Structure 1
Amino acid sequence: MSNSNFSRRGVTTLGLLAVLTTAGCNVGPKYTRPQVPAPPAFRGADDAAISSDPKGSLGDQQWSAVFKQPELQALITQALANNYDLKIAAERVLEQQQQVRISRASQFPTVNVGGTGLGATLPGSLSQTFGTNSNGTSDSSGATTLTAGSINLSAAWTPDFWGLYRKQTEAARDTLLAQEWAQKAVRLSLVQQVATTYFQLRTLDLQLEVAKETRDTRQQSVDLTTKLTNGGSAPLSDLRQAEQLLYTATSQIPVLEQQIQQTENSLQLLLGQAPGKLQHVDPNALQPAPENPPVGLPSQLLERRPDIQQAEAQLKAANAQVGAAKAQFFPQLSISASGGTGGSDFSNLFDPSSRTIYGLGSLAQPIFAGGKIRGQYELTKRQKDELIATYQRAILTGLRDVSNALVAVNKTRVTREQQDKLVFAAKDATRLARLRYQGGATAYLEVLTTDTNLFNAQLNLISAQQNEALTLVQLYSALGGGWQ
C-alpha cells in the first residue's frame, strides 16, 4: 500500500470517527428545574402601603435610582471600583473560564512533534580499533565523525462516544455560570453593606450631636444649681443630681466618637482604602423608605436573585457530573498514530525512503475496579440531590427575606411615628419640670427623671429613623437589586 493511500484512508477513518462521536450517546439525566411552589403574593404585601404590581419591582431598578443621597452614591461608586471582594470574585470568573477551556480540550486530538539528533567525533585510534562505521566520515587525522537524526509526528485521540468529555465540559460551563452569579451576588452584597454602614455612620453622627447638645444644656443646669446651692436656695442633693445628668451625657460622647471612627474604618475597607476619615454630613441621609415600593411577584425572584441563580447553576453542573460518571461504565476507545523520518546525515533526513508511519488503537472496558466507578456514580447522584435541596432552600430563603423586609417597611414607619410623639411629649415634660423646680413646686428629682427620659427618647428616635432607612436597603437587597 502506498503512503498516499494510507494517508487518505487514515483521514477518512478519522472523519468517520468524528461523525460517530458527534452523533454518539450523551448519557446522563436531562436537567429539569425542581418545582418549588411560590405563593401568589409576598407576605406583608397585602398592606395598603405596598404595591404588588407584577409589571414593576424595586429590584429591577438601578441602585442609583434607589439610593439618591449624593454622599452615598459616591461611596457606592468608589466601592464598586475598588472593593477587593469584588475583584476576587472577578478573578474567580476568569479562573473558571480557563477551567472550561481545559475541560473542553479533552474532546480534541493531541498532536506532538519531536526530533532527535546525534553527533560524535571518534579519535583515529578508536576508529582503527572498532572499525570505521559506514555512517561516519574521516578527516586527515584519521578521526571519524558520526551523525544521525530523526523527526517524528504523533497524534492521539479518545473519541467521546458516550459524552464523557461533553458532560465534563457542560459541568465546567455551568460552574462558570455559577461563578458569574456569585460575582453578581458579591456586587449586590457590597451595595447593601455600603448603604447599611453609611446609615449607621450618620446615625452615630446624629446621636453625637444630641449628646453634645444635651451636655451643653445640662452644664447650664449644673451652673445654675451651683449658684442656688451656694446661695442656700437649693440643697446639695440637687447639685449632685444635676451633675449626674451632666456626666451621663458626657460619658456617652467618647463612646459615640469611638463607634464613629471604627465605622469609618469599616466603610473604608469596603471602599478598598486604608483606615481614615470620611465625609458624612448629609442632613437628609436617614430619609424614610418610600411608602409605596413596588415588589412584583414572588415568581420573579427566581430570575432576579443572584444567589438563587447561582444555586441553580451549581445544580446544573452537578446534573452534568452525573452523566460524566455514568459514561465511565462504557468502553473507551483510544486511537493513536505516529510517523517519522530519519537519516545518517541532514542531507537525507527527509528522504521519503526513510519514512515510518503506523497507527494504534485500543478499546478498554471496565470490568472490576473495586466499586470505584459505581461509588463515583452514586456520589454524583447524592451531590445532585444535595444541591436540589440547596436550590429549594435558596428560593424559600428569598421569599422569607422579602417578606421580612416588607413587614419591616410597614412596622418601622409606625415605630418612628410613635417615637416622634414620644420625643415631643418628653421635651414638654422636661420643660414643665424645670419651670416647676424653678418655682419651688417640685424637687429636682422630677427634673432628673424627665431629662433622662428625653435624652433616651431622642437617641431612640434616631435609631428608629435609621431602622426605617435600612428597610429600603433590606427590601432592595431581598428583591435581588443592585447587581445590574
Structure 2
Amino acid sequence: MRTTASNRLGALAPATFLGALALSSCSLDWEKPDISVVPPERFLEVKPKSARPIPRGPDFAVKFGSTELAELTTRALEDNLAIAAAMARIDQADANARIASAALWPSVNLGAGAQRVQIPGTRTSDTPNFNPAQEVFRGAGQRDAATLADNLSTFSATRTNLFTLGLNASYEIDFWGKNQNASNAARLLANASRFDRDVVEIATLAAVMNAYFQVLAAQDQLRIAHENVRIAERVLGAITARLEKGAATMLDYGQQAAVLAGQKATIPPLEQTLRQTKVTLAVLLGQTPETLEVRGGSLNALKYPRLDPGLPSEVLLRRPDVAEAEAILASREFSVLRARAAFFPSITLNGRYGVQSIVLRNLLRPEAIAWEIGSNLAQPLFDGFNLQGQYQFEQGRYAEAAAFYRQRILAALGDTESALIAMNETAKSVKIGVEAVAMSRIALDAAQAQLLEGTIDVITLSTVQTTFFQYEFNLTLARLAYFQSAVSLYQALGGGWSPTTRNAEIARANDAYESDKGPWP
C-alpha cells in the first residue's frame, strides 16, 4: 500500500509542479460582493404582526364575491400562453441540467468498423521488390529470360483488411469539482425556472383580475352616463317648456343643450374602453376576442378581501421572484467555482475492450480479443488568457446576480409598502366619494325642484348637474383603484406563494432530474 501511494504521489508531482508554474502569474482570489439586505422590522402602514400566506390564484379571486372572476382565473391558469411558455422554459432548464451533469458519468460507446488498407511498396522497401515477368520466366524454366527481366522490377503494394468490434470508455476524475460545480449551477437554474413560472402565473392572474375590474368599472360608468343623459334630457325638456312660455331664454336652452351633449360625448370612449378591455382579457385567457363572453356586473357588488401582509421577513420568503434571484445567484457562484477549477490539472481515464481481426470469420474467436487501458493528464499552461477571461467573466456575472438579488429584495418590500398605501388611501377615497355623491344628489334634486318653480338660474343648475355627474364618475374610479389595490397587494405578498411552495418546486425539479433516464444509470 505504501508503494502504491508513493507511486501515485510521484505521478502527480509533475502535474502539481506544472500547475503551480501555470498559476504563479494568475491570482485565483475572489472577493465576493456583499449581498446582505436587512429587512425592516415592520411595514409603516400596518401594525407589526405575523400572518399566514394568502390564498393562491382562484382561491383568492373568489374572495371578491364573483364566481365569474374565479372562473376566469381558472381558465387563465389552463390556457394562458405566457404561462405555457414559462412551462416550456422549465423543460429546457431540466434538459440543460442533464446536459451539464453528463460529465459526472463515464462515457461509453459501442464501435464497429471494417476497413481495407493498401500499403505501397515504397513505404516498406527502399528498392523495387516485385518483378512479375521474372517470376513467370523462372516458373517456365527460362533462366536467361529471367535474367534479362531484372530491369523490370517494381515496388509491391500490400493490401490488408481489419474488422473491429468493441466498447470505448472514458471518464474524467473530478478532483477539483469542476464537473460537479457545472452540474450544481445548471440544476439551480432548473429551480429558478420553476420560480419564474410562478412569477408569471401571479402576474397573469393579477392582470386578469385588473382587467375584469376595468370591465366592471366601464359598465358602471356607462350606466352612470346613460342615467346622466336622461337627467340632462329631463332638465332640457323643462327648460324648453319654459322657453315656449317665455319664462326662459335661448341662453338657458343652449347652456343645458351643451350639458346634454357633453354627457352623450362620454359614452363612445366608455364603450371603447369596455370593448378593448374585453379584448385584453381574451388574450390573457389564450383565446380570440370573438369567442369570449363576459357578463360583468358592477363594482358595487364586489367584496374587498381581507389581506394581512405579515412581517417584512415573511414577505421575502413568500416572493417567488426573490427565490428566483436567489437561485440564480447560487448558480452563478458554482459557475465561478467551475471556472476556477479549470485552472487545475484534469485526469482522464480511457479504456477499450473488443475484438479485432483481419479476417471476418475470425472476429468472434477468443484469440481476437484486444483491450487497452490508460490515463491522460492535462495541465493548462498558456491558452491566450482564455481561462483568466472565463474566470473574470463568471465573477462579473455573479456580481450582476448579486445586485439583481438585492434589487429584488428592495422591490419586494417597496411593492408591499406601496400596495398598503394604495389600499389605505383608496379606501378613504371611496368613503369620501360616497359622501360627495350623496350630497351632490341632494343638491341636484333641490336644483331640479327650483327649476320647476322658476327660482334658479340655468348657470347654477348646470354647475350642480356637472358636479353630480363628475362625482359619480370619480366614485367609480375610486372603487376601481380600491379593488386594484387589493390585486397589487396580492401580487406584492407573493400571490399565495410560500416556503412550502418553494420546497415543492425544488422537489419537482429533483424528480425531473432523476426520472426518465432510460435503462442506463
C-alpha contact (below 8 Å) 2:62/2:70 kept by paired residues: no
Structure with bigger gyration radius? 2
1:98 to 95, 105, 127: 95
Matched, 1:453 2:445: no
Give runs of aligned pairs for residues 323-334 of structure 1, distance below 5 A. Answer: 323-334=337-348
1:117 to 111, 114, 119: 114
Give runs of aligned pairs for residues 37-48 of structure 1, distance below 5 A. Answer: 37-46=38-47
Per the normalisation by structure 1, the TM-score is 0.83
**Structure 2 match to 1:7:** none
Give secondary structure in 1 for the equivalent of 2:377.
Answer: strand
1:37 shift after superposition: 0.9
C-alpha contact (below 8 Å) 2:356/2:363 kept by paired residues: yes
C-alpha contact (below 8 Å) 1:104/1:169 kept by paired residues: yes
1:266 shift after superposition: 0.1
Matched, 1:289 2:304: yes
Matched, 1:108 2:105: yes
Please give the per-residue CA displacement for 1:202-228, whole angstroms capped at 9, x wherever unaligned.
Answer: 001000000011112222222332233
Give secondary structure in 2 for the equivalent of 1:415.
Answer: helix
Q: Which amino acid aligns with 1:103?
A: A
1:368 shift after superposition: 1.5
Give secondary structure in 2 for the equivalent of 1:106.
Answer: helix
Worse-superposed segment, 110-119 or 174-183: 110-119
Q: Structure 1's 285 and 345: CA in aligned 2 closer, same or farther, altered over 3 A?
A: farther
C-alpha contact (below 8 Å) 1:289/1:409 kept by paired residues: no
**Structure 2 match to 1:36:** 37
Gaps of 5+ in 2: 1-7, 13-27, 118-131, 136-159, 502-521
Give secondary structure in 2 for the equivalent of 1:336.
Answer: strand
C-alpha contact (below 8 Å) 1:308/1:395 kept by paired residues: yes
**Structure 2 match to 1:480:** 494
**Structure 2 match to 1:197:** 211
C-alpha contact (below 8 Å) 1:182/1:307 kept by paired residues: yes
Q: Which amino acid aligns with 1:429?
A: A
Please give the per-residue CA displacement for 1:174-208, whole angstroms capped at 9, x wherever unaligned.
Answer: 11111110001011111111111111110010000
Q: Which amino acid aligns with 2:297?
A: D
Q: Structure 1's 31 and 479: CA in aligned 2 closer, same or farther, altered over 3 A?
A: farther
Q: Which amino acid aligns with 1:113?
A: L
Give runs of aligned pairs for residues 82-481 of structure 1, distance below 5 A. Answer: 82-117=79-114, 149-276=163-290, 277-283=292-298, 287=302, 289-290=304-305, 293-481=307-495
**Identical counterparts, % of pairs:** 28
Q: Which amino acid aligns with 1:209?
A: R
**Structure 2 match to 1:9:** none
Question: Quick one: distance in 2 between partners of 1:392 and 1:370?
Answer: 35
Question: Quick one: distance in 2 between partners of 1:261 and 1:462?
Answer: 18
Please give the per-residue CA displacement for 1:2-39, whole angstroms capped at 9, x wherever unaligned.
Answer: xxxxxxxxxxx9xxx9xxxxxxxxx9989999431111
Q: Structure 1's 57 and 74: CA in aligned 2 closer, same or farther, altered over 3 A?
A: same
Question: Quick one: distance in 1 between partners of 2:115 and 2:394?
Answer: 52
- Please provide the CA RMSD for this pair: 2.9
1:63 to 60, 75, 90: 60
Q: Structure 1's 326 and 147: CA in aligned 2 closer, same or farther, altered over 3 A?
A: closer
1:337 shift after superposition: 1.9
Gaps of 5+ in 1: 1-12, 18-26, 47-51, 121-127, 132-145
1:79 to 70, 76, 79: 76
Please give the per-residue CA displacement for 1:419-451, whole angstroms capped at 9, x wherever unaligned.
Answer: 111111111112222222322222211111110
Question: Quick one: distance in 2 between partners of 1:439 and 1:330?
Answer: 100
Q: Structure 1's 83 and 196: CA in aligned 2 closer, same or farther, altered over 3 A?
A: same
Question: Quick one: distance in 1 between partners of 2:32 and 2:102?
Answer: 24
Question: Quick one: distance in 1 between partners of 2:457 and 2:286?
Answer: 56
Question: Quick one: distance in 1 between partners of 2:389 and 2:116?
Answer: 54
Q: Which amino acid aligns with 1:170?
A: N
1:150 shift after superposition: 2.3
Question: Quick one: distance in 2 between partners of 1:35 and 1:166?
Answer: 27
1:261 shift after superposition: 0.5
Question: Quick one: distance in 2 between partners of 1:283 and 1:359?
Answer: 79
Please give the per-residue CA displacement for 1:117-139, whole angstroms capped at 9, x wherever unaligned.
Answer: 3699xxxxxxx99x9xxxxxxxx
Worse-superposed segment, 280-289 or 67-76: 280-289
C-alpha contact (below 8 Å) 1:187/1:482 kept by paired residues: no
Question: Quick one: distance in 1 between partners of 2:431 and 2:318?
Answer: 33
Question: Quick one: distance in 2 between partners of 1:424 and 1:67?
Answer: 25
Question: Quick one: distance in 2 between partners of 1:110 and 1:57?
Answer: 47
**Structure 1 match to 2:157:** none
Question: Quick one: distance in 1 between partners of 2:34 and 2:469?
Answer: 56
1:87 shift after superposition: 0.4
Q: Structure 1's 79 and 389: CA in aligned 2 closer, same or farther, altered over 3 A?
A: same
Q: Which amino acid aligns with 1:314?
A: I
Structure 1 runs of 4+ aligned residues shifted over 4 Å read 27-33, 59-62
Q: Which amino acid aligns with 1:58?
A: I
Q: Which amino acid aligns with 1:261?
A: R
Q: Structure 1's 391 and 425: CA in aligned 2 closer, same or farther, altered over 3 A?
A: same
1:42 shift after superposition: 1.0
1:53 shift after superposition: 3.0
Please give the per-residue CA displacement for 1:227-249, whole angstroms capped at 9, x wherever unaligned.
Answer: 33233221111111121111111
Question: Quick one: distance in 2 between partners of 1:55 and 1:238?
Answer: 61
C-alpha contact (below 8 Å) 1:201/1:260 kept by paired residues: yes
Per the normalisation by structure 2, the TM-score is 0.77
